[in-house]
Structures are given as C-alpha cells and as structure tokens.
Amino acid sequence: MFEDLKWLVVLQKIDNEIYQLTSEERNMDSHISRMKHEIEESAIKRVKLIRRQRELQEDKDNYEADIVDHKRILDQKQIDLDNDKKTKKEHIKREVKKLEKAVEVFDERVAELNAEIENIKFELVTIDKNISRIEKKIRAENKKKIEIGKLTEMSVEKLIHKKMSVEKLVRVPFLNHYNRIMQIRNGIAITFVTEEGLCNGCKIHIPYQLQQKIKLKDDYNICEGCGRILVDIEMLAQPKPEKKAVPKEDIKPAAKEESKTKAKPVKKAEPQEIKKPVKTITKPKPKAKPVAKPKPKSKPEPKTKTKAVAKPVKKAILEPKTKPKATKKKK
C-alpha cells in the first residue's frame, strides 16, 4: 500500500473525530449568532419606530396648534355675528361653517395620530421584552458552551497531538494538498467510489481503469471533478470492535443448571414430532384399492359375444320338427 495514502486516511479519521467532538460547540455558536442577529434586527426596527413616533408627534402638535387657531377665529366670528349688520351676517356664517369643518377634520386626524402613536408604543414594549428574553438565552447558551468546552478539551488535545505525530509521517506535497482540500471541501479531503462508479463527493463518473487502480491501493489517485483523494471504501471503514471473551470462571453454576433445564423440553419435543408423521404415512395405504377397479370393465365384453352365438343355435333345433309331417302323407 502507498504509505502516504495510508497516513492521510488516518489523518482524515482523526479530523472526523475532532469534528464530531466540536460539532455541538459549533451548533451552539451558530445558534448564538442567529440570536444576536435577531437582536440587531429588532434594535434597528426599534430605532425606526422611535423615529416614526417623533414624526407623528410633531404632526399631532401641528394639528393641535391649528385647531387652537381655528377655534380662536371662530370665537371672533361669533362676536362679529352678534355686532354686525344683517347684510354681513350671511358672509360671516359661511366662514364659520368652513372653520367648523376644518376643526372637525383636524380632530379626526389627531385621533388617528394618537392611535398610531399608541400602536408604536406597544410595539416598542414588545421589542424590548423580546430583546431581554433573547439576551437571557444567549447567556444560558454561553454557559453551556463553556461547560461542554471543558469536557471536550482534553479529548480534543489528545487528538491534536496524535494528528501532529501523523503529519510528520506524510511527505510535504501530499500533506499540503490534503490541507488545501480540507479547507475548500468542508473538511472532507478523502472520499471513495460508489458501486455505480461515481465519486461520493462530487458525483462525477470515474473511469473503469481508475477504479481498478484505486482498488490496488498502491497509488495516489485524485478526482478530476472535486480534487479529493480517491481511496477504496475498505480503507475508510472503521474497524469493528472486538468482542471480549467471557472467562469460564465468571459463569455461575446456577446459570448452567438453567441452561440444562431449558434444553430438556427441547429433546422431549423431538420424538413427538417424529411419531406424528408416521401415522399419516400408514393411513393412505388402503387408498391403493381403486387402482384395481378398471378390471371389471373388461368382463362385459365376452358376455355380449356369447349371447349372439346362442341365438342361431336355437333356430337350428326347430328345423327338424317339420319332417314328421311328410311321413303322414305317405300312409
């Protein structure tokens, strides 16, 4: 086997173990980053709502100021209606109606602005609660991450030392290619060929000649599609754990007795099963009699022949009875 290839496979297995040990920490990091991103989005939304609230408040203040001005003018017009002559009253009444309508419109607009401002206040309260809740989750996730990191730190360090010792056994060009592919291809630098003749990494077809070279395990083969190192699937398979033999001394005598007692009913059941089919074999013997039934069918044939022969014999006997009549005439 190609020695560099063998050690690279060992490196891939070590990297896979490190990846599995640190996978939970990475998942927690991604979860924490998502929660932080959610906090950032809610904070941006909060700023926009505050800005909108200020704009609505300014509009509300302007409308309220206009309402005050219009009411002041209305009061003056009412005074003019009381003091002026009849000719001018109609003109003043029209102006009063216009001012009253304007005040009504301004009041409606102020009510709408008040409702929008209340909705914005409610949204701001919910956003603040959501941010505080997410921050609590982030603190809890960070604590879990620290605890998990302490547990996996020792095992990861051992694997890293083992990896460094294996890297020394691989030649530099092959090791550089392995590290480059590990960075590009999401931590998978070595793969195998499937039963359909495809690269398991990029699903590109591998020529038959290259497949045969891979099975020989004596060369450094690279996939033309993804650049991964191609090896036989048996090299990547993890060794099966050996079953430990149980010493005979540990077996209790009670267990032996139980095994013996369990074995006895099995032996008794065997002869019973053998006797039953013997009875069934003896029963079909009398059924062989119907084979002799076709013999009586041949007997009626000679009977018909004998009847046909007997009839002409009777006719021959009646003929001589006519002779005595001739003798009487002679007398």
- Averaged confidence pLDDT in the chain: 75
Any domain includes 154: yes
> For residue 329, what pLDDT is reported?
42
- DSSP at 95: H
> For residue 238, what pLDDT is reported?
65
Any domain includes 264: no
Domain count, the chain: 2
> For residue 236, what pLDDT is reported?
78
- Yes or no: say if 194 and 173 are a contact pair by the CB < 8 Å rule: no
- Asked if 163 and 207 sit in the same domain, the reply is no
- Asked if 162 and 191 sit in the same domain, the reply is no
Q: Given its phi and psi angles, is residue 227 left (phi above 0), alpha (psi -120 to 50 degrees) or beta? A: left
Among 113, 107, 116, smallest CA distance to 67 is for 107
Could you say which of 236, 257, 281 is where a domain stops?
236
- Asked if 90 and 210 sit in the same domain, the reply is no
- Asked if 92 and 126 sit in the same domain, the reply is yes
Could you say which of 190, 205, 236 is where a domain stops?
236
- Asked if 27 and 46 sit in the same domain, the reply is yes
- Asked if 193 and 116 sit in the same domain, the reply is no
Tens of pLDDT, residues 308-317? 334 444 444 4
Any domain includes 307: no
- Asked if 85 and 31 sit in the same domain, the reply is yes
- Asked if 194 and 63 sit in the same domain, the reply is no
Any domain includes 141: yes
> For residue 276, what pLDDT is reported?
41
- Asked if 208 and 139 sit in the same domain, the reply is no
- Asked if 71 and 153 sit in the same domain, the reply is yes
- Asked if 88 and 157 sit in the same domain, the reply is yes
Residue 60 CA to its chain's centroid (Å): 56
> For residue 43, what pLDDT is reported?
92
Query: By three-state DSSP, how is residue 187 classified?
Result: coil
Residues of the chain with pLDDT under 50: 245-331
Any domain includes 113: yes
Q: Which domain holds residue 183?
A: 172-236
Cα 272–Cα 278–Cα 284 angle in degrees, nearest 5: 145
> For residue 25, what pLDDT is reported?
84
- Asked if 210 and 163 sit in the same domain, the reply is no
> For residue 126, what pLDDT is reported?
93
User: 299: exposed, middle or buried (C-beta count within 10 Å: 0-12, 13-18, 19+)?
Assistant: exposed
